[in-house]
């Protein structure tokens, strides 16, 4: 009788240029950058840019991405109305449905050009946290907090969730947490 392994242990399901994980060695890297280096030196917006483009952004590229992300944070009124209508629903079900609803309000939904897909990615990246914070506030009977375009991605999420501007430590901790969870194949 031959030796057998349990389940899919040791089986490579797929390979990716974007993310590399070696759980046995404790390695996680995005596009060849060790996650520890990114966590120590990059903000979440840089991680997004790296995952999308394959390189870390230069100053002007990062500034443009931050500006584009901030400009797209608002939700269509129909999505907000949906979020109001399901206060007791499972949060992941609500998120999935609200994200799907965004396509109904996207003027480029049918345009599959690389440029349009990039703009759609920016919109989706911006609106997903808005769905989460809006739903949390609505289902808990709290007023909505408008996004602040002067805040970075992490700080704005925490601000629109709690109604309080985060201090530097909280902002950085959440920024690192998002980078750590940005992509896992």
Q: What is the pLDDT of residues 39-94, one digit of tens each?
A: 889 999 999 999 999 999 999 999 999 999 999 999 999 999 999 999 999 999 99
Of 51, 80, 81, 70, whose CA–CA distance to 182 is shortest?
51
| Region at 163 (left for phi over 0; alpha for psi -120 to 50; beta for the rest) | left
Over pLDDT 70: what percentage of the chain? 88
Give the mean model confidence (pLDDT) for residues 106-110: 95
Over pLDDT 90: what percentage of the chain? 74
Half-sphere exposure for 118 (CA within 13 Å, toward CB)? 9
What is d(CA 82, CA 172) in angstroms, rounded to the nearest whole number? Answer: 32
The confidence score (pLDDT) of residue 32 equals: 77
| 170 neighbors 26 (Cβ within 8 angstroms) | no
| 133 neighbors 156 (Cβ within 8 angstroms) | no
| 82 neighbors 127 (Cβ within 8 angstroms) | no
């Amino acid at each position: 009788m031959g030796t057998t392994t349990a389940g899919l242990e040791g089986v490579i399901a797929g390979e990716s240029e974007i993310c590399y994980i070696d759980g046995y060695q404790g390695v996680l890297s995005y596009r060849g950058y060790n996650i520890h280096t990114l966590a120590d030196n990059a903000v979440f917006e840089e991680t997004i840019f790296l995952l999308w483009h394959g390189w870390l952004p230069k100053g002007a590229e990062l500034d443009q991405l931050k500006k584009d992300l901030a400009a797209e944070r608002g939700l269509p009124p129909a999505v907000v109305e949906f979020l109001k209508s399901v206060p007791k629903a499972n949060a992941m079900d609500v998120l999935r449905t609200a994200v799907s609803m965004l396509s109904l309000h996207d003027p480029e939904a049918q345009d599959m050009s690389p440029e349009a897909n990039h703009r759609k990615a920016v919109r989706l990246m911006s609106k997903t946290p808005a769905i989460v914070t809006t739903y949390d506030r609505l289902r808990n009977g709290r007023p909505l907090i408008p996004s602040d375009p002067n805040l970075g991605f992490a700080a704005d999420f925490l601000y629109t969730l709690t109604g309080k501007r985060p201090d530097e430590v909280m902002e950085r901790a959440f920024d690192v947490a998002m980078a750590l969870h940005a992509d896992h194949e």
